[in-house]
Structure 1
Amino acid sequence: MNTKSAELVKLAEQKSPTRLTKSLESFAALREGHITNVRDRLVEYGLWAKALSEANSHIAVDDEEIAAATDAYEEVSNHLATNLSWPLESISIKPQGSVSTKTLIRSPNGSEKFDIDAVCKVDISHIEADNPTSFFESIGKALKDLEAQPKRRCWMIPFAGRRFYLEFTPSIPLNTISEQTLYSMAPRYSVSRYRETALAVVDMPTESWKTSNSEGMSKWVNDTSERRLIRSIAMEANTYDRAAASVAPVPDQAVDITDTLRVAIRLFKRHRDMCTRRGVIDAATKPISVIIVTLLTSCYEGLSDLNRSYEHPVELLDELATLMPHLVLKLGGKYRVDNPTVEGENFAEKWNDDGGERYKSFMAWASALSADLQTILSEKDPQAISKRVREVFGIPAPTDGGNGLTTIQPPAPRATPASRGLA
C-alpha cells in the first residue's frame, strides 16, 4: 500500500540498511530452520519480553488514579455551567492525549504530579463565541475558583492536594463555526483525517482561532494499534510439529506485549525521561511526547501498510527504535514532523528556531535508546536481563516488599505492584 507512512518507512529503511538486513536474514533463517530453532528463539524472546512487560506495568498509572482524575471533569463542567449560565448540555469534556490512548506514564522519581489533558467542546448554538479571545478569557474567569492558569491554548488547573493537574483546552466543533470565522482561520491548517472530530481552539499569542484535532490524533493512535504485525509463530510451529512429533511444542508466552505500539510509546517516553534525569539530554530541549507518539505511530502504520511482519513483539520494538529517528523529514532546510490529522501543522516547528538544539537532543536520545535496547537484547541470563531492564528504565531493584522487577524464572512472576508516585 503506497501511503505517506509507508513512504516514510521506506526512506527510513534506506538510512538504516544494516539493521533491516539483519532482521530479514534472521527471519529467513528462522523460517528455513527446524522447529527447535523456533522454540529456542521464542524462549529467548520470552525472557526479554517478560522483563520489558513488567517494566511497562511498573510505569503505568493506576486505574484508580485515572478514575479520580476523570471525576474532576464533572467538577470543571459544573463550574462552567454555573458561572457562565450555560446549559450543562452545551458543554462536553473529554480526555485527550496519553490518557485517551492508554499511554500515560508515571515519573521516574514518583513524586511529580501527572497531567491529564482534556478538551472542552462547547455547542455554540447555545452561546456566543465569535470572538476567540473573549471566549478563552470567559472560560478562565469561570474557573477562577479552581486557580486556573492561562497557557497558550489551554487553562492549567493545579488541583492542589491531588495527584494530578488538568490541562483544559476550550474549543468549538469546527463544523459548527460560521463561514466568516472559518475564513479568518489560518489557511495553512486544514483537516486531513478524522474530519468529524476537528475543532477550533484559541491560539492566544495570535488571538485567533486555530484548527486542532486532538481526538482525531487519539483515534489515529488507537486505530493503528489495532493493526497486528506479529506473526503467529506458534501456529506455524504446530504445522512443523505434525511433521516432527518428537520435537517439543513451542512454549506458551507467559507475558503478552502484543499491544506493541502502546508498549513502545510508554517505554520510549520513560527512556526519554530517564535520559533527562541522567543528564544525557537537557530538560529544556528534550523531545516532546507528541513527536515521539507521531513518529512511532507513523512508523507502525507504515510497516503495516507495507505488510511487514515480525516473529515477536521484542523484534518489533527493536525495529521501531531503529527506524523512528529516520522518519523526521528535513525539507528546505527545515525539520518536519507533521500532524497526521491537521495538514500544515508541524510538531517540530520549534526545532527550526533554536540552532538545532532540540534536534540534537532528539538524536542523542534516539541513539541512547537503540544502544540501551541492544544491551538488553545482548543479555541471555534471566537475572542479567532483569537487572539491565531495571537500570535502563529506572525501575527500583526488587526487595522483600516486592518493589521493582521480579527475577525471570519459571513459574512466571506476577507483575510487581506499582508505587504511588505518578507522572
Structure 2
Amino acid sequence: MTLTKSASLVLKAEQARPARITESLESFPPKSIAADSAAELLLAYSPWARALNEVNLHITVRPEEIAEAVEAYNEVAHLLVAKLHWPLEAISILPQGSASTKTLIRSPIGNQKFDIDAVCQVDISEIDASDPMGFFQSVGDALGELEAEAKKRCWNIPFPKKPFYLEFTPSVPLATVSAQTPSSIAPRYRAAQRYQATALAVADTPTEQWKTSNPEGITTWVDDTAKRRLIVELSMEAMAIDKRADVAPVPSQEVQIIDTLRVAIRLFKRHRDMCVRRGIIAADVKPISIIIVTLLTSCYEGLADLGRTYNHPVELLDELASLMSHLVLKLEGQYRVDNPTVDGENFAEKWNQDGGARYRAFVAWCNTLSADLKTILALTDPQEISKRAREVFGIPAPTIDDTGLSSIGYRTPPATRPGRGLA
C-alpha cells in the first residue's frame, strides 16, 4: 500500500519519539471499565477534559470582538471602493489564517491586541496585472487614513481603538494573473493541484513580483482534516457545550473539545505564548502559528490515513503533542515544513537563516509542552488537575467577570511589533 505524505511523516515521528508523553494514558481505559461503557469512560477522562476545556473557553475570542472585526472589514472595503473607484462587487474581503480556521486565541496579556488576518481578492479586470507593486501600493495609498503600514506582503492596519489589528493582504485570483503574465510567478511557487481553484497571487515586496498564496486552501485543508473522526464512537453529546451563532464573515471561534485538531492548535499556540512569558523562548524566534497549524494538521491527517483511533480527545491531544516535534523534515541540511497548498514553499525557511535559533526555540517549546502535559496528565485529583492546567496555560484562578470569562492579571510588558500575518 502506498503511504500518503502525512502518513509517512507520522510513521517517521513515531520511530523518532522516545515515548508517549505519559504512560498513564497507555493503560486507559481502566480495566474496571467495561469496553462498551461509554459513560464510565467519559467520566474517567472528565477531570482532564474539563480542565483543558476551561483553558479552551478562556482563550476564545469574545463574540463582540469578532463583531468589531466584521465592522472593520466593511470599513476597509468601502474605503477601497471610494478611493480606487472599484465597484463593490469586484472586491471580496475574507478572513484568513487563525480567524478562518477557528484557531484564533486571546493573548495571555489582558490588554494586548490580537491580529485578524484578511485577504482582499480583486477582480483582475480592475488592475494592471503586469505591475504587482503598483497594485500593492495603490491599496496602501487608499488605506492611508487608517495609518496602514507596509509589510512583506500585507498592510498592517492598527485600529487604535479596537482590540485587534488587521493584517490585510491584497490579492488577485492566480489563474487570471497567470493568463496575462505567465513569467511573473517564481517557478518554485506553484499552486498544488488539489487547491488550484482557490490559489491567489499576492505582491511580494522583496522580489517585486507576484507570489502564489492560498489561504482558502489552508482553511479547506484544516476543515477537511478536522472532520475526520479519530475518536471511537462514544456518547459525545455528553462533552458538548452550548453553541453560539456564527458571525459572518469571520467564523465563530467557539470550538468544542471533540474538535480535537482545532483544540490542539489553540492550546499549543497558547502554551507557546506562555513559554515566551515564562522566558523559556524569545519572542523573536518563537514558532509561528502557520508552522504549528501545518505540523498538527499533517499529524492528524497522517493518523487518520493510518486508521488510528483513540478512546477520548485527551488521548489524541497527548498523541499529537508527543509526535509534533518529530514531524519537521531536514533534507540536505535544511529544515522543512512544507506548505500543502503551494508546491515549493517552506514555512520554516527562516529556520535555515538564523544559525538554528528558531529550531532550537521550537524544540525547547515542544519539550516544555511535553513536560507540562505530563505533569497535568499524571495528576488524579480534579482540583489539582484544574489548578495545574491554569498555571501552565496562564489562566487565573476562577474570578469570573460579567462576560463569563476570567480576565488575566499579568503586568503588561513593553509593546511588541505585530506579526506578519502568518506569525
Distance in 2 (alpha carbons) for counterparts of 1:375 and 1:24: 12
Distance in 2 (alpha carbons) for counterparts of 1:340 and 1:333: 21
Against the structure 1 CA distance between its residues 128 and 307, is the aligned structure 2 distance closer, same or farther, given a 3 Å change threshold?
same
Q: Which residue of 1 aligns with 2:203?
A: 202
CA RMSD of aligned residues (A): 2.6
Q: Which residue of 1 aligns with 2:6?
A: 5
Distance in 2 (alpha carbons) for counterparts of 1:379 and 1:64: 36
Whether contact under 8 Å (1:57, 1:418) holds in the other structure is no
Report the count of equivalent residues. Answer: 395
Whether contact under 8 Å (1:8, 1:327) holds in the other structure is yes
Whether contact under 8 Å (1:57, 1:416) holds in the other structure is no
1:222-241 counterparts in 2 under 5 A?
A: 222-233=223-234
Q: Which residue of 1 aligns with 2:318?
A: 318
Following superposition, the deviation at residue 38 of structure 1 comes to 6.9
Against the structure 1 CA distance between its residues 117 and 36, is the aligned structure 2 distance closer, same or farther, given a 3 Å change threshold?
closer
Distance in 1 (alpha carbons) for counterparts of 2:282 and 2:211: 30
CA-to-partner distance for each residue in 1:196-245, whole Å, 9 max, x for gaps?
1100001001111100101111111111111111012459xxxxxxxxxx
Whether contact under 8 Å (1:58, 1:416) holds in the other structure is no
Distance in 2 (alpha carbons) for counterparts of 1:372 and 1:85: 54
Distance in 1 (alpha carbons) for counterparts of 2:172 and 2:408: 36
Q: Which residue of 2 aligns with 1:417?
A: 405
Q: Which residue of 2 aligns with 1:411?
A: none
Q: Which residue of 2 aligns with 1:238?
A: none
Whether contact under 8 Å (1:30, 1:38) holds in the other structure is no
Q: Aligned letter for 2:204?
A: D
Against the structure 1 CA distance between its residues 420 and 77, is the aligned structure 2 distance closer, same or farther, given a 3 Å change threshold?
farther
Distance in 2 (alpha carbons) for counterparts of 1:100 and 1:252: 27
Distance in 1 (alpha carbons) for counterparts of 2:95 and 2:112: 20
Q: Which residue of 1 aligns with 2:335?
A: 335
CA-to-partner distance for each residue in 1:355-410, whole Å, 9 max, x for gaps?
100000000000000110110001111110110011000001123xx369xxxxxx
- The alignment partner of 1:153 has SS state of coil
Q: Which residue of 2 aligns with 1:393?
A: 393
1:213 aligns with 2:214: yes
Q: Computing the radius of gyration over CA atoms, which structure comes out larger, 1 or 2?
A: 1
Q: Aligned letter for 2:227?
A: E
- The alignment partner of 1:74 has SS state of helix
Q: Aligned letter for 2:65?
A: E
TM-score with structure 1 setting the length: 0.87
Whether contact under 8 Å (1:13, 1:20) holds in the other structure is no
Distance in 2 (alpha carbons) for counterparts of 1:295 and 1:266: 13
TM-score with structure 2 setting the length: 0.87
Against the structure 1 CA distance between its residues 177 and 38, is the aligned structure 2 distance closer, same or farther, given a 3 Å change threshold?
closer
Following superposition, the deviation at residue 41 of structure 1 comes to 4.8
Distance in 1 (alpha carbons) for counterparts of 2:298 and 2:368: 21
Following superposition, the deviation at residue 19 of structure 1 comes to 2.2
Q: Aligned letter for 1:181?
A: T
Following superposition, the deviation at residue 16 of structure 1 comes to 1.8
Whether contact under 8 Å (1:396, 1:403) holds in the other structure is no
Q: Aligned letter for 1:212?
A: S
Distance in 2 (alpha carbons) for counterparts of 1:21 and 1:56: 21
- The alignment partner of 2:117 has SS state of strand
Distance in 1 (alpha carbons) for counterparts of 2:31 and 2:304: 20
Q: Which residue of 2 aligns with 1:59?
A: 59
- The alignment partner of 2:46 has SS state of helix
